[in-house]
Amino acid sequence: MSEQINTISEDSSGLPNGSGAAAILSAGIGSFAVAIFAIAADKYALVKNLFVFYKPTGALSGETTVAILLWLAAWAILDWRWRKRTVSLRRINAVALGLLGLSLLLTFPPIGDLF
Amino acid sequence: MEITTRSLWTLIHGMGFGALYLLASSGAIVALYRRYSFNAPSQSEPSSDRFLGIYLSIMAALAWLTVLTGTYIIYPWYRATPPKGTVNLGAFPHSLLLSHPATSQWHLIGMEWKEHVAWLVPIAITAAAFIAIKYARDLRNHPQLRSALLGFTAISLFAAGIAGFFGAMLDKNAPVEGGQTIQLVKGELP
């Protein structure tokens, strides 16, 4: 609660930070989706076949298309919910940057292959 | 002096969009740091705020162009399967790399990482561009948004650096070649 109040006073201005928070968190979700779909397609032949949207590019076409759609959907929903609000950005930043960092690690094949 | 259409597309993808993105993002990080560091002047020109939004939007466009040309134009040539009995694998980079233990890891680690990590770049920088445009001058009042903007730009540079490094190394070990030949300059024997 105190963190929330601190963050609000720190970020207080004319524009609420909700839209920015939505962009930040959804980018983390979209990036993480790229990594998760890559691992799933590598592990399960069925998933790999389902992700072949464009044959010359193989499963990469579906993995990235679905991740992008998920990212945009998450962005639209979060923006719709938060655009008029000031939210606790410290936690959202930590989660989003954490998801981006995890995505970097999970897309690295020796780590992704552990799952 | 000649170039094949596939080489030309590889150049446009890597040396054009990709390299330009890397240059632009290192510039953006310096600009963002200087702009929002504690010692920076408290006021900036509105035109400078607009410029930042436009600059990051151009970076986002470059990132999208890089991944889309890479995934849908060059990657199909890279991963094409050679017909049975093909001896010369020069036109099939994926198979060529896997045919030798000394080069197989360039595909198994390099390409496998590059093809996915590159997609984090447009996602991160599009979010950064949106924040810069939406908040513009008001960003000075949002320290957490500024941190995210800098963090996203830095991570996008790191991811683009990984993709760029492996792209260059893959092209050295198994270049994407073929297609029509374009004569750039007609040669003469010395």
A95 token code pair? 């989660």
Across B145-162, average pLDDT: 95
Residue A7 predicted with pLDDT over 60: no
* Mean pLDDT rounded to a whole number for chain B: 92
Chain A residue numbers with beta carbons less than 8 Å from the beta carbon of B79 are 56-58
Task: For residue B145, give the nearest of A17, A26, A100 by CB distance.
Answer: A17
Residues near B27 by Cβ (< 8 Å), separated by ≥ 6? none
Q: Is A101 close to B112, i.e. CB distance below 8 A? A: no
Instruction: Name the residue type at position A14.
Output: G
Out of A26, A34, A89, the one facing B144 most closely (by C-beta) is A89
Q: Do A109 and B158 touch (CB under 8 A)?
A: no
Q: Which of A114, A102, A108 is nearest to A32 (CA)?
A: A102
CA distance readout (Å), A92 to A22, B130, B148: 9, 17, 10
Q: Write out chain B residues lying below 8 Å of A54, CB-based.
A: 72
CA-nearest residue to A72 within chain B is B123
3-state SS class at B148: helix
Decide: residue B161, CB within 10 A, 0-12 exposed, 13-18 middle, 19+ buried. middle
Three-class secondary structure of residue B178 per DSSP: coil
pLDDT at A11 over 80: no
Q: Is residue B66's pLDDT more than 80?
A: yes
CB contact under 8 A, B76 and A56: yes
Task: Give per-residue burial for B90-125: e unless 16+ CB within 10 Å, then b.
Answer: ebbbbbbbbeeeebeebbeebbbbbbbbbbbbbbbb
Out of B75, B117, B145, the one facing A107 most closely (by C-beta) is: B117
| pLDDT above 80 for B179 | yes
Categorize the per-residue pLDDT at A2 as very low, low, confident or very high, splitting at 50, 70 and 90: very low
CA atoms within 13 A on the CB side of A66: 21
**What are A65-81's pLDDT values in tens digits?**
999 999 999 999 999 99
- Count CB-CB contacts under 10 A for residue B20: 15
- Mean pLDDT value across residues B117-131: 97
CA distance B44 to B27: 18
How much is the average pLDDT of A82-88?
94
Confidence (pLDDT) at B40: 61
Which pLDDT score is estimated for B44? 65
| Residue B93 pLDDT exceeds 90 | yes
Contacts of A97 in chain B (CB under 8 A): 148, 151-152, 155
Mean pLDDT, rounded, for A79-84: 96
Is the pLDDT at A49 greater than 50? The verdict is: yes
Percentage of chain A modeled with pLDDT above 70: 89
Give, in order, the Cα–Cα distances in Å from B151 to each of B28, B44, B98: 11, 21, 36
SS3 readout for B5-71: HHHHHHHHHHHHHHHHHHHHHHHHHHHHHHHHCCCCCCCCCHHHHHHHHHHHHHHHHHHHHHHHHHH
Instruction: Write down the ipTM of this complex.
Output: 0.90
Q: What is the mean pLDDT of chain A?
A: 90
pLDDT of residue A1: 39
Q: pLDDT class for A109, splitting at 50, 70, 90?
A: very high
Q: Are A27 and B127 in contact (CB under 8 A)?
A: yes
- Does residue A85 or residue B43 have the better pLDDT? A85
| CA within 13 Å, CB half, B163 | 30
B72 contact A CB<8A: yes
CB nearest B120 (choices: A20, A26, A103): A103
Instruction: Chain B: give the shortest CA distance to residue A108, in Å.
Output: 5
Q: What's the first-to-final CA gap in chain A, in angstroms?
A: 37
Q: How confident is the model at residue B39, as a pLDDT?
A: 63
pLDDT given at position A14: 78
As to burial, measured by CB atoms within 10 angstroms (0-12 exposed, 13-18 middle, 19+ buried), residue B160 is buried
Q: At B151, is the pLDDT very low, low, confident or very high (cuts 50, 70, 90)?
A: very high
The confidence band for B42, taking pLDDT boundaries of 50, 70 and 90, is low
- pLDDT interval class at B164 (50, 70, 90): very high
B147/A60 Cβ within 8 A: no
CB contact under 8 A, A31 and B76: no
